[in-house]
Structure 1
Amino acid sequence: MHNFSKKGIFIFLLLPILLIGQKTAEIKHSFFMAGPQFTGIIDEAGEELWNSGRPGARDGYVLESGNLLICWADEILEYNTKKEVVFSYKRAEKSMELGTAVRLQNGNTMITESGTKPRIIEVDTNGKVVQSVPLLPETDNVHMQTRMARKLENGNYLVPHLLAFAVKEYDSNGKVIRSFRTDLEDFGGKADENWPFTAIRLKNGNTLITLTHGNKVIEMDPEGKVVWKVDNADLEGNPLADPCGAQRLSNGNTVIASYGAKEGVKLLELDKHKNKVWSYSGHSVHHFQILTTNGKPLLGKPLK
């Protein structure tokens, strides 16, 4: 028999009422976004904080210095806090498309160039190519060869290839070390057009992948098994429309860019149980970087 005091019984009975009365703190984010109408920074109130003046960017980041590194199809520019260009790189050939720009720890910049000879390059601070890695996208369609590639801590490269239905991990010589298939029958196969767009290696060793026309986001373990998946069947209002960019936050939540959404939700944050905890419904978002949450910086130093 439980030995509750009268005070303990009162608190026990009152607890559900207290919990119902509690409100979860509202989440507010500021973020960098690359999109077809706007490329810049949105503050926590949803207002434009910094505008590049040039829409249509594909990739980009606020760096730890506070500078912005932004990738368009034809060139990459780095702006300092005075909005002066301090670094630039133009595609090697007019027929090429640039798709990724990531500043590496050694100061070099990693770039993807799609074209007749698709490749990853690393360039130094003067824009000189110091590393070139050939890619195998399995298509001559330049626009559909690859998207958000990232360099891993082991020196390899994680590269999504849309029409190959695969995220491939390359070594520095261009050899495919392993491949994560996105045409598995378990979630619709090729018929669902599960084209991989963004691939991110998580701290737990798994890989987070957005699947554009398939309107899904999946997490795969190192063996290529799906351990987490979200699609519109899990969500109210079918908010996933051509998901492109994604980010896994330190609290385990996943933020997804719904690039194809004409109206309504353009950015969506889900917890691990697929509950919506935050959304943004302004400009269309291709790629993004969450910068602050309720005033606390996450990455980089947002421009003022």
Structure 2
Amino acid sequence: MTIFSKGLLLLMMSPLFLVGQAASLTSENHEIIKNEIKHSFFLAGPNFTGIIGEDGEEIWDSGKKSARDGYVLKNGNILICWADEVREYNKQKKVVFTYSRAEESMELGTAVRLSNGNTMITESGSNPRIVEVNKKGVVVKSVPLKPDTDNIHMQTRMARKLPNGNYLVPHLLAFAVKEYQPDGNVVNVFKTDLAELGGREAENWPFTAIRLENGNTMVTLTHGNKVVEFDSNGKVVWKVSNSDLEGTPFVDPCGAQRLPNGNTVIASYGAQKGIKLFEVSPDKSMVWSYEGHRAHHFQILTTNGKPLKGTPLK
């Protein structure tokens, strides 16, 4: 059994999960109000890192705060990245995998379990790089990065490996998302300091970059308080910001996830009160929100009792 199949082993231990018809949004149907959608999700945040049930209750707690990234894996284990280490927990909450930074000045930024069983991790520091680590925690591949800054904390955040073997990496102070080949060669760049987005003055620092199934790239712009979608040529084809929504829910957005129904969930990491996570439809209507713990990143697990299918686009 896994979190993604046969009853949601971890999640269904709680009575919080109400099985219902999953809400869907199409261009003909936007008549959905917030209380018709319920999500459970993994949350990596400054005050809590664990799993939140569909009614907002904590149902699994890692016991360690200030996580940056994480995934609930298909086998039910949970992979979590902190600045100093990466851990994988099994269903008994035993740590079954660890990887630690080599120096205190380094920062680990993200961790992704690859299809070959290795784990991809970003390391910021004097020699910023992506590493792929085997099950024993041994580095088996290293990809040098070009963040255009010596500011370790601002070099990079949520990197992801693409199906073609390349790596999609946001670099905050470079105002760019760069696509790297395994040898470190940059083959594509998505600029976030475009004039139409407000230029560098808008501080459109790219934080999470996601390659979508249609080939576009979705990027959260943290200080710029926007989420944008670029086509393969770097042209902005979709954008949502506080100007599109009531109540200014964008407050330093960090994590994001594109759902199978086309909606986008966004984490307002900087929000000290009010909305911390929210979901918008393609027409920029807010259809769900969460006001509990702050979220750096997250993973939506279920909608109205039904697990999300496929690889999470986050």
Same topology, TM > 0.5: yes
Kindly indicate whether residue 286 of structure 2 is the aligned counterpart of residue 266 of structure 1.
no
Higher relative CO (CA 8 A, sep ≥ 6), structure 1 or 2? 2
Matched residue type, 2:139 = V
Matched residues in 1 for 2:43 and 2:309: separation?
14
- What corresponds to 1:211 in structure 2? 221
- What corresponds to 1:108 in structure 2? 118
SS in 2 for 1:159: strand
TM-score between both structures, scaled by the size of structure 2: 0.88
TM-score between both structures, scaled by the size of structure 1: 0.90
Q: Are the equivalent residues in 2 in contact too, given 1:64–1:299 (CA < 8 A)?
A: no
Matched residues in 1 for 2:194 and 2:215: separation?
20
Kindly indicate whether residue 61 of structure 2 is the aligned counterpart of residue 51 of structure 1.
yes
How much does 1:66 deviate? Answer: 0.4
Runs ≥4 residues deviating over 6 A: 21-25
- What corresponds to 1:10 in structure 2? none
Matched residue type, 2:194 = L
Which residue, out of 166, 169, 178, partners 2:179?
Answer: 169
How much does 1:141 deviate? Answer: 0.3
Matched residues in 1 for 2:157 and 2:82: separation?
12
The share of aligned pairs that are identical, in percent, is 72
Q: Which has the larger radius of gyration?
A: 1
Which residue, out of 270, 288, 292, partners 2:298?
Answer: 288
Matched residues in 2 for 1:216 and 1:142: separation?
23
Matched residue type, 1:191 = E
Matched residues in 2 for 1:198 and 1:23: separation?
27
Q: Are the equivalent residues in 2 in contact too, given 1:29–1:293 (CA < 8 A)?
A: yes
Aligned length: 281
Matches within 5 A, 1:27-46: 27-46=37-56
Give the alignment's Cα RMSD to 1 decimal.
1.6
**Unaligned stretches of 5+ residues in structure 1:** 1-18
- What corresponds to 1:160 in structure 2? 170
Matched residues in 1 for 2:33 and 2:197: separation?
36
Matched residue type, 2:172 = L
Kindly indicate whether residue 139 of structure 2 is the aligned counterpart of residue 136 of structure 1.
no
Matched residues in 1 for 2:33 and 2:265: separation?
22
Matched residue type, 1:267 = L
Matched residues in 2 for 1:44 and 1:299: separation?
17
SS in 1 for 2:157: coil
Matches within 5 A, 1:225-304: 225-298=235-308
Matched residues in 2 for 1:25 and 1:262: separation?
23
Q: Provide Cα deviations, 1:142-162, integer angstroms capped at 9, x if missing partner.
A: 000000000000000000000
How much does 1:117 deviate? Answer: 0.3
